[in-house]
Amino acid sequence: MALFTCLATLLACVSARLAIEGRVERQPIFRRLRGGSEADAQGLRGGAEADAPPPPRVMFVCRANSCRSQMAHGLFNKLTDGSSGASCGFRASELNPHAVAVMAEIGIDISEHTSNAIAEYDPSAFDAIICVCGCAAEVPGEWKVGHFEDWSLDDPPELDPGDRSVYRRVRDELKERIEALAKRLHVAGCGLGLGPLRGGQAAAAGGVRDEVKEYYGKVLQKSADLQTNACCTAVELPQEVKAAIGKVHPEVVSKYFGCGLCVPEALSGLSVLDLGCGSGRDCYVLAQLVGESGSVVGVDMTDEQLSTARQHVAWHADAFGYARPNTDFKQGYIEDLKGIGLGDETFDVVVSNCVVNLSPDKAAVLREAFRVLKAGGEMYFSDVYADRRVPPHLRDDPLLYGECLGGALYWNDFLALAKAAGFADPRLVEDAPITVANPALEEKLRGIRFYSATYRLFKLPGRLEADCEDYGQAVVYKGTLPGRAAAFDLDSHHHIEAGKVFPVCGNTYHMLASTRFRQHFEYVGAHPHEAGKSAHFGIFDGCGKSLPFASASAAGAGGQCC
CATH number for the domain spanning 426: value is 3.40.50.150
141 with 239, same domain? no
Q: What is the pLDDT of residue 199?
A: 26
- Alpha-carbon separation of residue 483 from 299, 331, 480, 513 (angstroms): 29, 34, 8, 20
Cβ-based burial of 69 (10 A; exposed 0-12, middle 13-18, buried ≥19): buried
| Residue 504 belongs to domain with CATH number | 3.40.5.100
**321 and 340 in contact (C-beta within 8 Å)?**
no
Residue 379 structural domain: 225-458
- Residue 431, in any domain of the structure: yes
d(CA 177, CA 204): 25
- Residue 219, in any domain of the structure: no
Q: 527: which DSSP letter? A: P
d(CA 215, CA 398): 9
- Out of 458, 481, 499, a domain closes at 458
- Out of 418, 441, 458, a domain closes at 458
Residues marked as catalytic: 62, 133
Query: What is the reported pTM?
Result: 0.61
Total domain count, the chain: 3
393 with 351, same domain? yes
454 with 508, same domain? no
- Alpha-carbon dihedral of residues 391, 396, 398, 402, nearest 10 degrees? 50
Axis crossing angle, helix 201-214 with helix 164-184, rounded to the nearest 10: 160
- DSSP lists the bridge partners of residue 149 as 130
Q: What is the pLDDT of residue 257?
A: 66
* Tens digits of pLDDT across the chain (562 residues): 433 333 333 333 333 333 323 322 323 334 334 334 333 334 333 443 444 567 788 999 999 999 999 999 999 988 877 778 999 999 999 999 999 999 998 889 999 999 999 999 998 888 889 999 887 778 888 887 677 788 888 889 988 888 888 899 899 889 888 887 877 676 654 432 222 222 233 334 444 445 544 544 444 444 444 555 555 445 567 788 889 989 999 999 888 766 556 899 999 999 999 999 999 999 999 999 999 999 999 999 988 899 999 999 999 999 999 999 999 999 999 999 999 999 999 999 999 988 898 888 999 999 999 999 999 999 999 999 999 999 888 887 877 877 788 889 999 999 999 999 999 999 999 998 988 877 778 888 888 999 999 999 999 999 999 999 999 999 999 999 998 999 999 999 999 999 999 999 999 999 999 999 999 999 998 776 665 567 899 999 888 788 888 764 454 454 444 4
392 with 418, same domain? yes
Q: What is the pLDDT of residue 409?
A: 93
25 with 160, same domain? yes
- Residue 562, in any domain of the structure: no
365 with 431, same domain? yes
Displacement of CA 306 from its chain's centroid (Å): 16
- Residue 558, in any domain of the structure: no
**88 and 140 in contact (C-beta within 8 Å)?**
no
d(CA 508, CA 511): 5
424 with 514, same domain? no
Q: What is the pLDDT of residue 128?
A: 87
Nearest to 11 by CA among 157, 115, 106, 126: 126
d(CA 302, CA 422): 29
155 with 286, same domain? no
**67 and 153 in contact (C-beta within 8 Å)?**
no
- Residue 364, in any domain of the structure: yes
- Residue 208, in any domain of the structure: no
Q: What is the pLDDT of residue 83?
A: 72
308 with 387, same domain? yes
Within 10 A of 506 (CB to CB), how many other CB atoms are there?
25
131 with 159, same domain? yes
Displacement of CA 351 from its chain's centroid (Å): 15
Written as one letter, the residue type at 527 is H
| Residue 118 belongs to domain with CATH number | 3.40.50.2300
400 with 541, same domain? no
- Residue 206, in any domain of the structure: no
Query: What's the length of the chain?
Result: 562
8 with 62, same domain? yes
